[in-house]
Structure formats: structure tokens, C-alpha cells
Chains A and B, each alone.
Chain A
Amino acid sequence: MDILRFATAGSVDDGKSTLIGRLLFDSKAIFEDQLEAVERTSRDRGTEYTDLSLLTDGLRAEREQGITIDVAYRYFATPKRKFIIADTPGHIQYTRNMVTGASTADLAIILIDARKGVLEQSRRHAFLTTLLRVPHLVLAVNKMDLVDYAEERFEEIREEFTAFASKLNAADLTFIPISALHGDNVVSRSENMPWYHGTSLLHHLENVHIASDRNLVDVRFPVQYVIRPHNATSQELHDYRGYAGQVAGGVLKPGDEVTHLPSGLNTRIAAIDTFDGPVEEAFPPMSVTLRLEDDIDISRGDLICRPNNQPSVAQELDAMVCWMADSVKLQPRSKLIIKHTTRTARALVRDLQYRLDVNTLHRDEAATSLGLNEIGRVSLRITQPLFVDDYSRNRLTGGFILIDEATNGTVGAGMIVDAR
């Protein structure tokens, strides 16, 4: 059994909570006490139906105001897979939360109301999903019951969205007509839409192939922590020196020739250690400890790769940055802390090339700053070299966060598009 992480995009009006509630309920991930609590609260509020959004809106302020204010994580499993849902709110601080939820997602579900068709917000959801390089996208055309389960309506929406998505260079795209309320095509195939020959949503989630989405080609091992037992009683342990980290790309094997950055020195992998014994190969997302044949001065923030396949060693970066703070804006000359893989440095904003309108994709080159939930292309100068790949090639070596030195808050997320 493996794990699929997916994000859901859409508002309550699109039936998102109903859909999640149905997935959880039909997979028995909702327990009786949770359902009773939700039913009780729904009754107290005078709602006639059981409001399943109460399951995900866990904070007092959310229940009081009937809104979702943050990413909520929900869990369910079928015999085939474990699922982690990043449920992001539809309105408040939408971009910031969707970017957060999408950053780790293997798949995103965008909900469309069959009566309303492709709206501005559907395009925004598709753009953000593509920007974050979520490998699989599902367009769930919901409320098919309200358009008489009409194939023509579904096809219209499919064509309109496909035309838009081709401009985005969108990922693997699947369209599924559903009714979350009635359960059509959610867990099992619907008899109401005999013209639909695809699978149900849950079947798709259970079977979509994700193992090859990780980068297994470019070896990238950011050194996270140096393990030195300093054990005086055991000679072997006394001299032990292991480089611990989580594989960010490629497949490493004992005996492989590797290069250490920033030194550029070459050596070989002597062993790949784990608590459970040495392993013959390591690949994402394994956390392992490398031992190397030669003594090289290696510390946290360094990177191990292959001699003939190295990342860019860069102090000048261009990145798409999503700004996440309302207390301060991003503008030229801003100084920030940047955290990229296991390396933390300082960054100077050299230029804001343009601000992107996430609804129209219009580039505003006259913009002078990025505010909360705005996205733009930014040029940064870093105080020390980072070992980077384009985000489109590797999400882990291509993504970074920005931290405000004054408040210590996480104020931005960046996706590298060019490095020098």
C-alpha cells in the first residue's frame, strides 16, 4: 500500500465538502462520534441537512463564521492506498493556502459546478496547480444531477477547459462527471450516465500511477546532518562519519562515483546505512545515511550528486514567487532569509520583473511590489551559492521559502525558473 497526497480546489458552493465527506464516509474514515457531533452542531444551527464541512472546519472561528481559514489535512484509506487530503479553503487567502496544499500534492481535484461551467476561479485553480507542478489533475464536473446527467453539458465543459489547459502546459488531465450529493461516479460507476466510459473518482485515485512522478534520474542528496557518534569505546564507531539526509532525486548505490558540492571533489559511496542495516540503493523519499570512501570536509547544506549530472551552483536566481504575508510587501531591495533544501542563506530582491494576474494570466510589468496572495517573477541575489534545479525538473531542489528577518514569519514561496 502506498500513499497518494491530493489537494482539493473549489468552494463550498461547488460541493467540495460534500465530496470529501462522501469519500470519507464511504471509506469509513468518519467515525460515529464525529458524525454525531456534526449532526448535533448542524441541528443547533438550524441547518436541515448534515453539514459535512463541519468535519473539516475544526477551529472555533471557522464554525462560528462558517468559513475555512486554513489548510486542513484529512486521512482515509482503502485496501489499495492511503490518502492524505489537503483541503484548502475556497475564498479567504485562497492563493496562499492552495499553494501550500499543492506543494506536496501528487494530484489535485478541481471541482466545477456543471450548471456554471468553467469560471474564473476554475482557471485560477488550474493555473496554481500547474505552477506548483502537481503531476495529475482531475476535473470533477459536479452536480451532474442538476443538468439531467447530460453528456452534451459535460462535453462542453471538457472542451472549454481543455482549450484553456493547453495554454498552461497542464499535467495529466482527467475529466469525471459526478454528483457528490447522490454519489454518482464517486465511489462506483453511475447508472445515470451510461455514456461515460471512464472510471469512478475513487477508482482513479486508487490507480493513478505516481511512482514515476518523482525524479529518479538526477541524483540529488542534500546533506542534512552529519552523524559522528564520538564513541570512545568502539574503534569502529569512533571513526564513524555518516552524512544523513533525504534523497531529493535519483537512485544512489554503493560504489557509485559521486561529486561533493561546493568543493567539486569526487569520491565513491562506501555504504548506504540505515538503522535496519545497509541498503543496496536509495531513492526518493528515503531518509538514509551515506558513508563515503574519502575524507572530505562535508557539512549541512552541502550536496552530493553524480560527476556528469550536477545541479546549477547559483547565486543569481529567477523564480516565480507567491507572497504570503500581509504585514509587509515584497519589493526591490527587500532583504530576506531563504531556505532551500538544507541550506539557509540571505537573499536580496534585485528586481520584480512582473506581477501575474492569476485570473487572466496578464503580466503587469509596471508592478512595483507583491502583496499578500500575489505572484510574480522575481530576481534574487543570494549571499552564498545554492545547488538548484529548475522547479519543473525537481520540486525539492527547485523550491524554496522566504522568511522575514524582522518577524521570523514565512512570507514567500518560490519556484526556480532560471539560475546563473
Chain B
Amino acid sequence: MLQRDYTTSQLDVLEAEAIHIMREVAAEFERPCLLFSGGKDSIVMLRIAEKAFWPAPIPFPLMHVDTGHNFPEVIEFRDRRAVELNARLVVASVQASIDSGRVAEETGRRASRNRLQTTTLLDAIEEHEFDAVFGGARRDEEKARAKERVFSFRDDFGQWDPKNQRPELWNLYNSKIRKGEHIRVFPLSNWTELDIWDYIRREGIEIPSIYFAHTRSVFERDGMLLPDDEVVQRDEDEPLFEAVVRYRTVGDVTCTGAVVSNAVTVEQIIEEIAVTRLTERGATRADDRASEAAMEDRKKEGYF
């Protein structure tokens, strides 16, 4: 008799691990929420949540920290997915934080609301008393994230202390916290950018149109292509031109660059990524270029 080979594919292993993490949170926390930006990682995370609790609905709300500077295609997608899943969507607004004087808008040509999001996020976590917050961050994205736990403890100021993290062994996660503290949970920790795309292809998951090649009016700054948009300040020596581009990451309009690409299908995107020589954040994120420890510093303050 042939012995069956119980080899499991990498996507099945990653999916099973992420489902386990989601169920662990649902079982052990009182008020979890899932950060949903309409970006590809959070879209995959949402599919995992759908799978983890099926045939019951997802037992926690979705939250989006809206900088007010998002791509309209992404906002439309966000709202539609929430309705399709019959999920509650909490929108935390950076504009509201500015209007109420909690944060001050940056000025100048490199002004961005990227860093302001942290205050809005932490205020919303406090207001809604969320004790666990799912994020779609992956360890392969950035070197500070390579050291982050799946269950990442935040003190009552929302801060991350990278030197004092809880050891994480086997598939056992420590969910003990005091009131006012919370845990950031990263079910996709062990996924790479390519895994995300392979999964989107395998599952046939819909993603916002800006991930695919399209013609857009852009200008170049520091080797990045930024869009022609009223919230992006452009200098006179930064001329606009038309280019066929797509987005590898989806963030704030002011700090997310496009890449030149002809990929109009998920298969073509995967082919493109397989030969690319730049990381997705290195190619497209001005926010990470500020300094060598830009991400670490923002994360310590409570950033995603």
C-alpha cells in the first residue's frame, strides 16, 4: 500500500497558522478589532478572518485610520467589502484629530499625515477600548519588523519596547494584559510579499484597481513617482508627465510612490515581483526613507 505523503504547501501552512492566531484572539480577548486599510495585506487578513469563523460572521469590527489623503479607489473598495461581509466598520479620522487640536498638520513640500496617524489610532483604540488590534504587517517588510512578535505587547501609552518583548514559543501566545494595555496581533508575520500575491491568485481575491497598471499623471522625487494630487505639494522643478504605473503598496497619497509597470493581471504582478531587485517599501515608501531607524522610531510610538 502506498503511504500517503502528508506534505503541506507553504500557503496552506501559512493560512492554517494565521487562522489559529485569529481564533486564539477571538477566544482570549474581549474587544478585538481588525485594521483594514483596503491594502493587499489587510485584504488577505480579512479573507483569513472570514475563513477562521465561517459559517459564523467575523466576530469583531474592522477599523480604518483614514488620513483623508487616501486613494478614492481604495476607499470605495473598503466600504464595499465591509458591506459585503456585513461587518461593522469604524473609521478613525486624522482630519478629526487635526480639527480637535490633538495633532498639528505638517507643513512644507514633504508634509505628510503619515506620522499623525499614530495619535488617531491610539485615540481610537482607547475610545473603543480595543484590547487586541490585528495588523497586516509582515516581518519581511522592514528590519525593525523582523524582530516583532506575533502577539506584540503595547503599554498603556501604546508604546512598543523592542528590547523587552515576550518570548514566543511553539504556537502558544501570551494574551495577558492589564486594563488600558493592548496587544497588536500580526497573523501574517511569516508571509512574504510573494506569498501574499500567490494567495491572492490562488483564492481569486479582488483587490483595488490601483494595484494594476494604469496611466497616471505623476512627477519624480527622490527616484519615486508621486501622483498629481491636490494634497501633494509639487515644486516647479518637478514637472508632471504621464506614465503607465501601478502601486506595490497602498498608503497615504503623499508618501506612496508608484512603480512603472505593465502588469494588468495578478499573474503578471507575480512575474514582476519575482525578478524585482528592490523591496516594496524601499521602492515606494518615502516614510521609511527618513532615516535608517524610521520604522523602529514610529513603531515605538505606537505606529502600525
Please report A residues at the B interface, Cβ cutoff 8 Å: 1-3, 31-34, 37, 41, 55-61, 63, 69-75, 77, 81-82, 84, 96-97, 99-100, 103-104, 211-212, 214, 216, 224-225, 227-231, 237, 240, 242, 244-246, 251, 273-276, 283, 285-287, 289, 300, 324, 337, 339-340, 342, 395-396, 399-401, 403, 408-410, 413
Contact = CB atoms under 8 A, between A and B. Distances in A.
17 contacts: A2-B10, A3-B10, A31-B276, A33-B278, A61-B162, A71-B147, A77-B194, A82-B10, A224-B20, A224-B27, A229-B56, A273-B55, A275-B54, A276-B51, A287-B19, A337-B176, A410-B168
Contacts of A56: 143, 146
Nearest to A54: B143
A238 to B, nearest CB: 11
B170 A399 contact: yes
A251 B8 CA distance: 13
Interface string B43-74: 00000001111111100000000000000000
B169 A227 contact: no
A249 to B, nearest CB: 12
B174 A342 contact: no
A228 B56 contact: yes
Given A214-B6, A274-B51, A224 B24 contact: yes
B278 A41 contact: no
A100 B162 contact: no
Contact of B282 (A31, A75, A82): A31
A82 B277 CA distance: 18
B277 A32 contact: yes
B140 interface: yes
Contacts of A403: 174, 176
Nearest to B291: A60
B171 A60 contact: no
Chain B interface residue count: which class? 35 or more
A44 to B, nearest CB: 10
Contact of A408 (B162, B171, B176): B176
Contacts of A274: 51, 54
A237 B55 contact: yes
Interface of B: 5-10, 12-17, 19-20, 23-24, 26-27, 50-57, 139-140, 142-147, 162-163, 165-172, 174, 176-178, 189-190, 192, 194-195, 276-279, 282-283, 292-293, 296
Contacts of A32: 277-278
* Secondary structure dominating the interface of B: loop
A229 to B, nearest CB: 4
Contacts of A300: 27
A342 B278 contact: no
Nearest to A59: B162
Q: Which of A74, A227, A228, A324 has most B Cβ within 10 Å?
A: A227
B163 A100 contact: no
A242 B16 CA distance: 17
B45 to A, nearest CB: 14
Given A71-B147, A408-B174, A225 B169 contact: no
Contacts of B23: 224-225, 244-245, 287
A47 to B, nearest CB: 15
A88 to B, nearest CB: 11
B147 A396 contact: no
Given A3-B13, A63-B292, A96-B167, 9 more contacts: A2-B7, A60-B292, A72-B147, A99-B169, A103-B170, A104-B170, A324-B167, A399-B170, A409-B166
Contact of B8 (A2, A70, A227): A2
Contacts of B195: 82
Nearest to A300: B27
Contacts of A73: 139, 146-147, 189-190
Given A59-B296, A69-B163, A70-B162, A240 B55 contact: yes
A22 B125 CA distance: 42
Contacts of A69: 163
